[in-house]
Structure 1
Amino acid sequence: MNRDTALGTLAARTHFDVLVIGAGVNGAGVFRDLAAQGLSVLLVDKGDFGSGTSAASSHLAHGGIRYLEYGEFRLVREAVQERNRLLSNAGHLVKPLPTAMPLRTRGSGLLNAPLRFLRLRDRASPRGVWVVRIGLAFYSLFSNAVANDLPGHKVLNRTDVGRLLPHLTTELKACALYHDALILHPERLIWELVAEGMQRSRQCLALNYVSVAGMSDAQVELRDEATGRELVVEPRIVVNAAGPWIDRVNGNLGQASRLIGGTKGSHLVLDHPNLFAALGGHMIFFEAADGRIVLICPFHDRVLLGTTDIRTDDPDADQCTPEEEVYLLNLVPQMFPGIQMDARHVVYRYCGVRPLGRGGGEAGQISRDHSLHLHRGAGSAPPVLSLVGGKWTTFRAFAEQASDRVLGELGWKRTSATVDTPIGGGGNLPRTKADRERAIRDATLDGRLKPTDAEALYGRYGTTAVAVAKACSPPDLDERLPGSRYLAGEVVHICRTEMVACLGDIVQRRTLMAMLGEATPELLETVARMAAPILGWSEDRCQREIKETTQLLARRHGVNLP
């Protein structure tokens, strides 16, 4: 279904069981779960699917080992188990990530950790070998409750660390090794959740670029941001999954709230082959001198560096400041003193606001756990269920809990579970090397595509790669876009099937062209002209899309094209 068709469908109907506001990972998860129960569900977002906070994560599926220090055992247990489920259900986009935690002391933190656990101390202190050993023991215990193939953890001495990671600083006592997981393309995973929800039931509809304008009695007023068209729907219940914008959306619904106390986090994407090689496939996860948690992570053929954690009440704080960039770049020499780097290595910057619940203490101490808040309006107004907090990793469990609350409110029984349900191209993934090679051969379409291109498609789309390959098989569509790893046919497939509304949807979310530093004037021009006939863009619209995308990349992501 394309966006115009979906908009026409919405205009022709008014009644839905559930209106979900916000198409980040939590909203998309709720949409998919409720669709599986046979309810009629409408999902809307004022931007594109997965374009807000969910696009600004550290790209990790992890348990959050540091949260154990704050006594959040339930959260860590849930998170490591959901990480394992993501590895199983979305194995095309979520991969095991060897993680190294350098340790500069042995006994440090033995006193501080219990004091922080009891909330008797705010100030951080370095975590030493013994504290980390205890934490990893709990981590492994929780993880083993859900089947997984991840290796166990271990702690290396200084000599063994030098053999494994020779470029790492020698000012260490030891290094802990364990596994978490990397989400290769979060925005695509969100799209697959949305698409699956619509595929499960014709009663379910999702629309990007549709905002909430207000609520009058039982009617919620919507506005199509692309055309200004106004629409009205009558849901039996509203799910507010708008992330850091939750309070603003509740205000638009006439139900004032003060639920969110967010923090801002910025990341840098680096094109630095020497640093990438020095990582040896490992994420380096460590504490900076000021106590902040830092990650240096291999991401495709780039390096992801993050993150900051700064309190903010502005959900639209979407820019990585020069001060944050300098701060992050200066962290790398702490771990890799022999590697030189500067701002010239940065190909992309991004920032988002974590939708955390209001709380005191340091920014890093605010709980990453999630909660549900139900507000019953007056008269015939539908109740509003707000989803506060949460981690990317735990979206499925949070969506399940929210969906159960909705089902209870509507007097509807759960008929389907998502705990073992594959996501998109994660269904029926081959388990052996031979089966994977056979699947890649299938994606060559009897030799019409090069094996290397078919393998790349399989890596991006999993078991749905054959459908994309067919779009890439005609002459000229099997060629790579200028300066990109993507094939021309992928753009055609995306424009035809993935509800694209603008050029930014293609280069920033349906693909990783911009994030991986591939954006150039030539690339934007090529992609826009390929999209134009499919999406019905005029020459003026085509030029406007190029200009607006160029400006957005410069303003929000520090990508200044010539």
Structure 2
Amino acid sequence: MATTAHYDLIIIGGGINGAGIARDAAGRGLKVLLCEKDDLASATSSASTKLIHGGLRYLEHYEFRLVREALTEREVLLGNAPHIIWPLRFVLPHRKDLRPAWMIRLGLFLYDHLGGRKKLPASEGISFAKHVSGAPLRDGVTKGFVYSDCWVDDARLVVLNAIDANGFGAEILTRTKCVGAKRIKDQWQVALRDEETGAERQVSGRMLVNAAGPWCADLINPKNGVVQSDTKADIRLVKGSHIVVPKLFDHDYCYIFQNGDGRIVFAIPYQDDFTLIGTTDVDFAGDPAKVKIDQTEIDYLCKLASGYFKKQISSDDVVWTYSGVRPLYAGNGESENASKVSRDYTLKLEANDGVAPALHVFGGKITTYRKLAEHALQIITKQLGTRDAPWTARETLPGGDFPNASYDEALALYAGQYGWMDRGLLKRLLRAYGTRIELIVGTASKMTDLGTCYGHDLYEAELRYLIDHEWVRKIDDLIWRRSKLGLRLSAEQIAALETRLAPEKQSERVIAAQ
């Protein structure tokens, strides 16, 4: 096992926190390596409800700091990534048997004002007899409230942070597992294994970051963990599951539904033709890589949605499901209901004079990932003796440099530039890649120049870009994380794509073995 490069920072975990820290650190000039045992965003970070939000229900738990920080970040991220983040309006039907109207009004007042809202419209009360969102709802609920939050393509948010980190010089290694990490005085010696070839190599670093998400505790387990550590991980694993059904309504509003058990569930327009419903909160034990929804969760979500919508749904209507495991920082809340455990994050520094420091990332939510990374860099720069110079709040993510941060203006611009392109394809590519659409289209001047069409509107030009620039190697990377084309493609088309990707994987094995 040969020793290779030396780094300032070695990050374990390619989810949103690891990628966010890598981007921030590399942009400050630190030499960074990030290793991820699977694909980027292959676990929790691609299994969210796809929202950039303050967390309205967290106000009931008096988590004002978390809500304020999240609402502030909502405004920042909306400007940083207008291609993959955009405003939504949420409808909250009022049920006086669950929460009184005055409580909801007070909560929405705080929600409107805690985070310095500037870009999004304020909340308001509505009558369902006069509002378009009332038509799909069952009789009996006559009034409600509307407020603002934002949508995000969560998996693409991770990838864009990794792309930017890589552009600043960070080395991003997917399907590369940390199989050992120990301190030798003021250095970390880390063993990495390529999960496809089995090849191992040794790297060294001044500081280690454990951003392994639901595996963060396993990584430092004193009995069988692979990272030398004396930090205790007070982590509670909670499963959240979602279902996708054919669309239940024809407008752009989202719904947030209250339930008698104290939980809330969202129903959100999804990929034009579907409705996304979720999430559940269930304690989880086992391997997070094998998490999946169970029938009880499907029935729970279907029953709750059917209690509000005129159109009834059952498990027979579900076209897709996904589940993720949230690594929540438990503290002293082990006995609490899973839905009440804080979504805040905790950063634990492990440092002593003369030995290499480590930083452990516990908990967190996708909305506050950038702020988490900024806080992590406050600690990292102090440990490494460099200047703390925050920069990410004012810089767009790759592809997000739209004129006036406006998707509509960018769409009009590119519609003129690519007048030959199918409108639906143009809109999808611009939403996914922003101005990086130019890397995909290149010199093409007609649809046939984009190469082979593999089904729906997926062409070779896009596939080639994803392989060359976004670490796509396997079919799920392509159709469920970089896109949601798995909802559109047939089994035969997916099989053909797997065949197409096979030589790319073989090429990677040859390169890694050299």
- 2:167 corresponds in structure 1 to 199
Verify: 1:384 aligned to 2:393, yes or no.
no
Query: Which AA in structure 2 matches 1:156?
Result: I
Does residue 1:449 correspond to 2:421, yes or no?
yes
1:251-292, Cα deviation, whole Å (9 max, x unpaired): 21122533211211110111x24x032xx2111101122222
| Alignment check: 8 A CA contact 1:266 1:306 kept | yes
Q: Does 1:294 find its partner at 2:270?
A: no
- Shift of residue 497 of structure 1? 2.2
Q: Which amino acid aligns with 2:144?
A: C
Matched, 1:464 2:436: yes
Contact 2:121 2:147 in 1 (8 A): yes
Q: Deviations over 1:453-483 (max 9, x none)?
A: 3333222211111211228667746378455
Letter in 2 for 1:197: A
The reply on whether 1:422 has 2:396 as its aligned counterpart is yes
Which of residues 384, 387, 390 is equivalent to 1:413?
Answer: 387
Q: Match of 2:38, SS?
A: coil
CA distance in 1, matches of 2:227, 2:266: 39
Q: Does 1:210 align with 2:176?
A: yes
Q: Aligned match of 1:281 in 246, 252, 267? A: 252
Aligned-residue offset at 1:319: 0.6
Distance 1:223 1:435 in 2: 42
| Structure 2 residue aligned with 1:322 | 295
Report the counterpart of residue 135 of structure 2 in structure 1. 166
CA drift at 1:414: 2.5
Match of 2:118 in 1: 147
CA distance in 1, matches of 2:257, 2:352: 46
Aligned pairs for 1:86-165 within 5 A: 86-105=77-96, 126-143=98-115, 145=116, 147-148=118-119, 150-161=120-131, 164-165=133-134
Aligned 8 A contact 2:35 2:173 in 1: yes
Q: Does 1:334 align with 2:320?
A: no
Q: CA offset at residue 11 of structure 1?
A: 7.1
2:410 and 2:198 map into 1 onto residues whose CA distance is 50
Write the letter of the residue equivalent to 1:369.
D
Deviation at residue 239 of structure 1 after TM alignment? 0.8
- Residues 258 and 264, structure 2, Cα contact 8 Å, conserved in 1: yes
Indicate the residue corresponding to 1:188 in structure 2.
Answer: 156
Query: Out of 413, 428, 435, which is 1:438 matched to?
Result: 413
**Could you give the per-residue CA deviations for residues 92-132 of structure 1, whole angstroms, max 9, x where no partner exists?**
00111110011111xx6xxxxxxxxxxxxxxxxx2221101
Residue type of the alignment partner of 1:152? A
Q: Residue type of the partner of 1:469? A: V
User: How big is the alpha-carbon RMSD for the aligned residues of Structure 1 and Structure 2?
Assistant: 2.5
Q: 3-state DSSP class of the match of 1:424? A: coil
| In structure 1, C-alpha distance between the alignment counterparts of 2:49 and 2:313, rounded to whole Å | 21
Is 1:18 paired with 2:4? no
Are 2:208 and 2:357, in contact at CA under 8 Å, matched by a contact in 1?
yes
Q: Any conservation in 2 of the 1:473–1:489 contact (CA below 8 Å)?
A: no
Cα deviation, residue 174, structure 1: 2.4
Q: How many residues align?
A: 494
In structure 2, the partner of 1:524 is: 494
Question: Any idea what SS the aligned residue of 1:372 has?
Answer: strand
Structure 1 gap segments, 5+ residues each: 1-9, 109-125, 542-562
**What is the TM-score normalised by the length of structure 1?**
0.83
Q: Residues 434 and 56 of structure 1: is their aligned pair in 2 closer, same or farther, counting only changes over 3 Å?
A: closer
Match of 2:58 among 52, 67, 70: 67
1:222 aligns with 2:192: yes
Q: Which residue of 1 aligns with 2:237?
A: 262
Deviations 1:117-168 (Å, cap 9, x if unpaired)? Answer: xxxxxxxxx222110100111111123x2531x111101245335x542121
Cα pair 2:242 2:321 within 8 Å, conserved: yes
Partner in structure 2 of residue 488 of structure 1: 460
| Partner residue of 2:346 out of 371, 377, 393 | 371
